Amino acid sequence: MSNYEFVRTDMLPQQEPPSDTVGVIGWLRANLFSSFYNTALSITVLFLLGSVLMNAVPWVFLGIWNADSLSHCREIFASQYSDGREYACWAVVRDRWDQIIFGYSFGNLEEGLFWRPVFALLFVFVAITPILFPSTPRTLYLATFATLFIYPWLIWGGSLSSYLSIAVLIVAAGYVYQILSKYMISLFSIGLMLVFLILGLWLLNAPISALIHLILPFELQSIPSREISGFVLSITIGIVAIVASLPLAILLALGRQSDLFIVKKLSTLFIELIRGVPLITLIFVATVLLKYFLPKSVNLDPVLSVMILVTLFTAAYIAEVIRGGLAALPSGQKEAADSLGLNYWQAQRLIILPQALKISIPGIVSNFISVLKDTTLVSIVALNDPLGIATAVRSHTDWNGIVWELYAFIALIFWLMCFSMSRYSMYLERKLRTDHH
């Protein structure tokens, strides 16, 4: 019998994968041309993208940076490109970038005041480090506390001592509370501390301020609120709104979660009232109505009143974020605090709030992003935020007719700020989520 059976005795070597499933071609096939439908979609999108970029890229990159006015720009286009088309006139950004960022008050580079907002922002970065990165030393919280007073000093100017004396009084009030709370229930000691603080601000502020001025005689050129403008105004309103609204928001969130009927209803009423109306109506209230709500002797300038109303607005939204954080805590935490014999405020301060606030940080960051974006609304009531300045520049004779260049510049800066913050908030959310598992 002939032996036609064949038995392979050695292993076949592993074969390369088909050449059209690896490398660039394989990636393209899998991601762009996997089916007829996908291929059609890819080609349409590529075509559309190409036609948009064909117009946009030359407009951006062939733009002129060196010119005095829009008409000068147009002369340069005519002489340089001679195709009759218009390109970007970036000269307006080169001419006015300092105003848009630092505003009319700090923007004049020759006067050399622009270091003040720059340093103020640096202080803010130092201040938020211990909050954003819990691994950093806790002594940095001192810097956070100091920034609460140094930031306004750098922006508004005046004597450093008037800001420091408020800081001294607040620290003193803290000590008063600690001493009092050994002898009486917290409700009384909080009340007495507030009385001490108000009396102190009223009576002791001037002498303490004068005393500090003797030791630290630092004074900066004072800037009236209504002259703060540009991105400095946007960022200042945003920071003031977030920082000032946090205590109010915590109280509102606790109030809405509490068992006390009247407290709960009042908190809910405030939060829903504020969340039900557009911010622009609240800004109108700030600029038009606030003077009617206050006695005649109080004279608020528009920027400060806008800050107050934006703070109330932010407080309502952050209260909801914190309420979410409170609701996310397992009820065992509160029961454990109860069983240790902590009273309500001790339990909140030591057990509940530290955890609830930690969960709420991503939400607070995204609220900061929306407040920062919403600050552009103040241009409607004629405050000079970046959009207000852009309108002013566009109506200047030199730059009349500029449309996109200024808005592109402002949009780029807003985008850089908001995008980086939203990325941070997403990173934090991921980190917090893995903590639980």
Joined together, the tokens standing for residue 43 give 């080609």
**Neighbour count for residue 332 (Cβ, 10 Å):** 9
Please report whether residue 312 would count as binding another protein according to CB under 8 A: no
Q: How far is the CB of 289 from another protein (least distance, A)?
A: 6
Find the binder of another protein among 252, 279, 318, 365 (CB under 8 A): 279
Please report whether residue 277 would count as binding another protein according to CB under 8 A: yes
- DSSP letters, 367-402, are HHHHHHHHGGGGGGGT--SHHHHHHHHHTSGGGTT-
Q: Which among 92-100, 111-119, 185-193, 424-432 is the span making contact with another protein, rule CB under 8 A?
A: 185-193
Please report whether residue 259 would count as binding another protein according to CB under 8 A: yes
Joined together, the tokens standing for residue 101 give 């960022």
Please report whether residue 183 would count as binding another protein according to CB under 8 A: no
Q: How far is the CB of 400 from another protein (least distance, A)?
A: 13
Instruction: Give the contacts of 216 (CB within 8 A, at least 6 positions apart).
Output: 160, 161, 164
Cα dihedral angle (363, 365, 367, 370), rounded to 10 degrees? -140
Decide whether 105 or 425 has the Cβ nearer to another protein.
Answer: 425
Find the binder of another protein among 17, 22, 25, 41 (CB under 8 A): 41
**Paired residues of 219 in beta bridges:** 159
Q: How far is the CB of 137 from another protein (least distance, A)?
A: 32
Helix axes 140-156, 115-132, angle to 10 degrees: 150
Q: Report residue 306 CA to chain centroid gap.
A: 16
d(CA 362, CA 369): 11
Per-residue binder mask for another protein (CB under 8 A), 365-404, x = binder: ----x---xx-xx-xx------x---------------xx
Please report whether residue 284 would count as binding another protein according to CB under 8 A: yes
Find the binder of another protein among 21, 31, 66, 221 (CB under 8 A): 31
Q: How far is the CB of 277 from another protein (least distance, A)?
A: 5
Please report whether residue 108 would count as binding another protein according to CB under 8 A: no
Find the binder of another protein among 57, 185, 210, 216 (CB under 8 A): 185
Q: How far is the CB of 136 from another protein (least distance, A)?
A: 27
**Neighbour count for residue 427 (Cβ, 10 Å):** 12
- DSSP letters, 248-275, are HHHHHHHHHHSS-HHHHHHHHHHHHHHH
- Contact between residue 374 and residue 279 where contact means Cβ atoms under 8 Å apart: yes
Decide whether 29 or 94 has the Cβ nearer to another protein.
Answer: 29
Decide whether 423 or 431 has the Cβ nearer to another protein.
Answer: 423
- Contact between residue 372 and residue 418 where contact means Cβ atoms under 8 Å apart: yes
Q: How far is the CB of 63 from another protein (least distance, A)?
A: 16
Joined together, the tokens standing for residue 280 give 């622009």
Enumerate binding residues for another protein (CB under 8 A). Answer: 31-32, 34, 38, 41-42, 45-46, 49, 185, 187-188, 259-263, 266, 273, 275-281, 284-285, 288-289, 291-296, 369, 373-374, 376-377, 379-380, 387, 403-404, 407, 410-411, 414-415, 418-419, 422
